[in-house]
Structure 1
Amino acid sequence: MSIVIRDVREHELDSILALNNAAGPTILPLDAARFRKFYDSAEYFRIAERDGTLAGFLVGFGSDADHDSSNFHWFRAHCDRFFYIDRIVVASRRRGGGVGRAFYADAQSYAELRYPLLTCEVFLEHDADPVRLFHGSFGFHEIGQHVMPESGIRASMMSKDMCSYPWVRDTYGEDLPDEPWLQRPRAPSAVANA
């Protein structure tokens, strides 16, 4: 039962949107247009498959992105440069099976070469202790709280230092070696121009 993490494919958007909107109160529902915007502009939009079946997805943006989330803008006001995990959703039947950890390992591997901080938020209203414990065990800590004006939901704003980033920046700057494992997941501008 291996977990495969790969870039999302356009024909999968309806299934991923349905997974998002069935996730429960810890994930805000989206409409198809908003979800399409993620596909067109997210720096990182990957799915997890287990046994050939959709098990979850993760969407992330770099700090320079044109992203309209109030949580993203909170991080932009409080942090210089960061990679923001906008949402992670794991299918209910797959929770507790390592999919979340696999996603965070993949996202961290991507972020640590490009950003000094990995950031995310956890909603505090809906029995958040298991989710906060998960993030704490992965090295995140709260750097503040934010009430989302569009929903009134209070979120714990969390970050994690990317320990490898200073060495990578000092050694390579913005010019990472041309290796397949270092390529950006689905470059949004390449998709938009295709």
Structure 2
Amino acid sequence: MENMIIRDFETKDYDRVLELNDESVHFLSPLTKDKLKRIISESEMMKIVEVDKNVEAFVLTFRENKEYDSVNYLWFADNYKEFLYIDRVVVSVKMQGKGLGKALYESVISHAKSNDVPYVSAEIDIKPPNPGSLVFHEKFGFKEVGKQTVYEGKKVVSLQVVKID
């Protein structure tokens, strides 16, 4: 998409990021502005995608050894010495299927390569199912390394990694 730019998160993006998160909250955990500020301070990278100067997507990642209490992040922390964890990638409903998520994942993998991070990790909902996400991650070479029941049994996630060469 020729009118798309990927850039670092800026404080002016808080409200739009919260809107995007709320729009897809059924696949994510909810965020408040305070929680978002806290997790960004611990994050490795947070990238924004603008299309025609409108924020339409973002990705938030963490390295190992951070003070982050996500049960899925903690699973990877218990099982991998070094990794880059994709906590959330969100694309506005109106822009889904237009390559924004792909561009964000390419930036995450590029970041991992340039920082000698051996694995990129993520989780995908399998109960309730998110087949589009499974196919998307498969295209990037992600493989399941575990499963976990979360949110008091309401969700089951597939814990996946891709080895970075």
Q: Shorter chain as normaliser: what TM range?
A: over 0.9
Structure 2 stretches lacking a partner, 5+ long: none
**Is residue 21–residue 28 contact of structure 1 (8 Å, CA) maintained in 2?**
no
The reply to whether residue 160 of structure 1 matches residue 162 of structure 2 is yes
**Is residue 23–residue 93 contact of structure 2 (8 Å, CA) maintained in 1?**
no
**Cα 1:30–1:150, aligned 2, differ >3 Å: closer, same or farther?**
farther
Greater CA deviation, 28-37 or 81-90?
28-37
Give the distance between the partners of 1:41 and 1:150, measured in 2 at CA: 26
Quick one: higher RCO (CA 8 Å, sep 6+), 1 or 2?
1
Q: In the alignment, what sits opposite 2:109?
A: 108
TM-score between both structures, scaled by the size of structure 2: 0.93
Pairwise CA RMSD: 1.4
Q: In the alignment, what sits opposite 1:88?
A: 89
Equivalent runs, 1:166-181 vs 2, <5 Å: none
Counting matched residue pairs gives 163
Give the distance between the partners of 1:17 and 1:119, measured in 2 at CA: 23
**Is residue 70–residue 149 contact of structure 1 (8 Å, CA) maintained in 2?**
no
Q: Deviations over 1:128-153 (max 9, x none)?
A: 11110000011101101011256742
Give the distance between the partners of 1:152 and 1:24, measured in 2 at CA: 14
Q: In the alignment, what sits opposite 1:143?
A: 145
**1:66 Cα offset (Å):** 1.7
Larger-Rg structure: 1
Give the residue type in structure 2 aligned to 1:17: L
**Cα 1:38–1:151, aligned 2, differ >3 Å: closer, same or farther?**
farther
Give the distance between the partners of 1:151 and 1:35, measured in 2 at CA: 25
Give the distance between the partners of 1:63 and 1:52, measured in 2 at CA: 33
Q: In the alignment, what sits opposite 1:32?
A: 33
Q: Deviations over 1:82-141 (max 9, x none)?
A: 000000000001100000100000010001222100000011123311110000011101
Q: In the alignment, what sits opposite 1:98?
A: 99
SS in 1 for 2:148: strand
Give the distance between the partners of 1:126 and 1:9, measured in 2 at CA: 33
Equivalent runs, 1:175-190 vs 2, <5 Å: none
**Is residue 81–residue 117 contact of structure 1 (8 Å, CA) maintained in 2?**
yes
Give the residue type in structure 2 aligned to 1:111: A
TM-score between both structures, scaled by the size of structure 1: 0.80
**1:39 Cα offset (Å):** 2.4
Give the distance between the partners of 1:20 and 1:149, measured in 2 at CA: 18
The reply to whether residue 11 of structure 1 matches residue 31 of structure 2 is no
**Is residue 122–residue 128 contact of structure 1 (8 Å, CA) maintained in 2?**
yes
Going by fraction, where is strand more abundant, 1 or 2?
A: 2
Percent identity between the two aligned chains: 28
**Cα 1:150–1:54, aligned 2, differ >3 Å: closer, same or farther?**
farther
